[in-house]
Structure 1
Amino acid sequence: MKGLLSNPVLMKELKLRFRAFKSFSGLMFYLAVLIIFVSGFLLIFTQFSTSGFFVPSNSFTMFSVLSVLQMALVMFITPGLTAGAISTEREKQTLNILLTTTQSSSQIIIGKLLSSVAFLILMLIAGLPLYSIVFLFGGVSPGQFFTMFFFYLVTLIAIGSIGIMFSTITKRTIISMIATYGAMIFLGGITAFFFFVGFSLEQMMMSQQQNTQGLTTFLPISYFWASINPGVLILTLLIPDTKTALIDTVGISFPNWIVYLIFYVFITIVCLTIAIRKLRANMKTNR
């Protein structure tokens, strides 16, 4: 903790980010989207009547959809906060000045990442009062709530690391942002597409082999694509029947959240390592 607080890059980025008007305008937009959703949800289930009743069992449905929406917003906002961390310094011609300081490459990269993560955590905390409506009606355990926020944190750190990496290895912010959003599309959409394609192909191969012995379906590749998809993770954490259906489909009972955690931690380490090594790639010494 002392090492983090003594990081000048982190402290400078925190001051600049939290003093900027666009940061809080983005926070207002984020909260406005959540408020509109919660208000619309309550109006629909109370049939747009002031005398209508909200069934407590519907609170879990609201929590589920709100969790999916918040994960989507996290994946949408994070690249915009991290994809220009280093490339913006390069475009402003301030990166060379930053590199001549006593700060190491790891301090610069970690400081840039943590400043973005801190703002994203603030956004998640700012949305907590909306979740209080769910706890008002019940139907959701604190364990589900904290588990969901833990995986939010893992996901946004991994996405932030991807953005920092592209921002370091590319010279233009727009290219870095496109590449980062492309990675988000891959993780959120292409992996789901690969799962359905792989499942269909392997089922077709099994049917051609005329598997009449009643063997259990075993689809490790398809299971991997499903396990690293954030949408599938949210569904399996919220709805146990979805987890059971996935196990029955691929024939693998290994928890998908463990695969998700290992994959995203690995991505974080790899991306940060590449960013640290490439930050001073054109210099004789690499700190």
Structure 2
Amino acid sequence: MKLNINNPVLSKEIKLRFRSPKSFNGILFYLIVMCIFVFGFIFVTMSVNRTSYFTPDESFFLFMLLSFIQLGLVLFISPGLTAGVISTEREKQTLPILLTTSQSSFQIIAGKLLSSIAFLLLLIFAGLPIYSLVFLFGGISPLDFGLVFLFLFVTLFAIGSLGVMFSTIIRRTIVSMIATYGTMLFLTTVTGFLAMMFAQLMSLSTSAVPTSFPAYFLASINPGVLMASLLTPDIEEAITSFTVIDFPIWGTYLIFYLSITVLSLFIAVKNLRVNMKRHK
């Protein structure tokens, strides 16, 4: 079956990746673990509560746990999948051959990015039937479901684009991975710590109407904070009332990470053939 995509790099990479038995074994293992977790959670909850039913509140809590598990999957696997796509070609000395083809720099970068995150996208889609079990018990609306997955896709493409950018501008794969994981850890942990620090400084302010844009911005670009605010709107209301900035944090998150995606891909495309241009 042919891929209806006019990008030979993407077609070749996807065929090589998904023809390996390891890919399907990985998906099977992931689904088995997810099923054990979901049914184990339901069984333990009913056993502890000594009931024969699962309440909507418990279903919503299960949905929150699954959402954060998916977020962790995106954050910690995306750098490993994308941070070596170009640097590995350079280390194998196959990048010059790839650059002599008729493919443009954007086609090569886009093909490498999409083929690298395709496996993770497949994992997310494969987990949809397990996610849908929460609808049997109530407590979850289709809007919540859609927002969480839209958030995961935006985050996945942003982290993946950063990985491709570092893989393009850094010659060594291990250094590229360290840079990508370091950036991911900064966005997920350091931003949260700095947001709390600025919020604490703001609470000590003597201004009549104190505002703290740094605290608001750092909290808005933190994936964990946004995930929690999507699942619990009270968190967003608390951030808005505390920082006195009436702008939805999901809007700031979307603008920031879409900008990161576009900028990272632009830098990767511009630097892919930089050595060739120097020798002209």
Q: TM-score range by the shorter chain?
A: over 0.9
Q: What residue number does 1:163 align with?
A: 163
State the number of aligned residues: 277
Aligned partner letter, 1:222: A
Q: Which runs of 5+ in 2 are unaligned?
A: none
Q: Report 1:115-130 matches (<5 A).
A: 115-130=115-130
Aligned partner letter, 1:256: I
* Contact 2:191 2:222 (8 Å CA) reproduced: yes
- Deviation track 1:122-145 (CA, whole Å, cap 9, x = no partner) reads 111100111121011111111111
Which one is further off, 263-272 or 15-24?
15-24
Moved over 4 A (4+): 48-51
CA distance in 2, matches of 1:4, 1:76: 30
* Contact 1:75 1:156 (8 Å CA) reproduced: yes
Which one is further off, 267-276 or 27-36?
27-36
- Deviation track 1:76-130 (CA, whole Å, cap 9, x = no partner) reads 1111111111111111111111011111111100111111232222111100111
Q: CA RMSD in A?
A: 2.0
Q: 1:269 to 1:30 in 2, by over 3 A?
A: same
CA distance in 1, matches of 2:155, 2:134: 23
CA distance in 2, matches of 1:32, 1:175: 34
Q: What residue number does 2:83 align with?
A: 83
Which one is further off, 257-266 or 193-202?
193-202
Q: Report 1:51-62 matches (<5 A).
A: 52-62=52-62
Q: Report 1:194-209 matches (<5 A).
A: 194-204=194-204, 206=205, 209=206
User: Per-residue deviation at 1:250?
Assistant: 1.1
Percent of paired sites with the same residue: 55
* Contact 2:202 2:210 (8 Å CA) reproduced: no
User: Per-residue deviation at 1:28?
Assistant: 3.5
* Contact 2:202 2:211 (8 Å CA) reproduced: no
Q: Report 1:221-236 matches (<5 A).
A: 221-236=214-229
CA distance in 1, matches of 2:50, 2:95: 57
> 1:252 aligned to 237, 245, 249, which one?
245
Which one is further off, 61-70 or 263-272?
61-70
Q: 1:167 to 1:32 in 2, by over 3 A?
A: farther
CA distance in 2, matches of 1:217, 1:26: 50
Q: What residue number does 2:275 align with?
A: 282
Q: Aligned pair 1:15/2:8, yes or no?
A: no
User: Per-residue deviation at 1:25?
Assistant: 3.5
TM-score, length-normalised on structure 1? 0.91
* Contact 1:4 1:10 (8 Å CA) reproduced: no
TM-score, length-normalised on structure 2? 0.93
* Contact 1:43 1:49 (8 Å CA) reproduced: no
- Deviation track 1:161-189 (CA, whole Å, cap 9, x = no partner) reads 00000111111211111111111101110
User: Per-residue deviation at 1:285?
Assistant: 7.9
- Deviation track 1:38-78 (CA, whole Å, cap 9, x = no partner) reads 23321221126997332232111111121111111111111
Which one is further off, 13-22 or 185-194?
13-22
User: Per-residue deviation at 1:241?
Assistant: 1.3
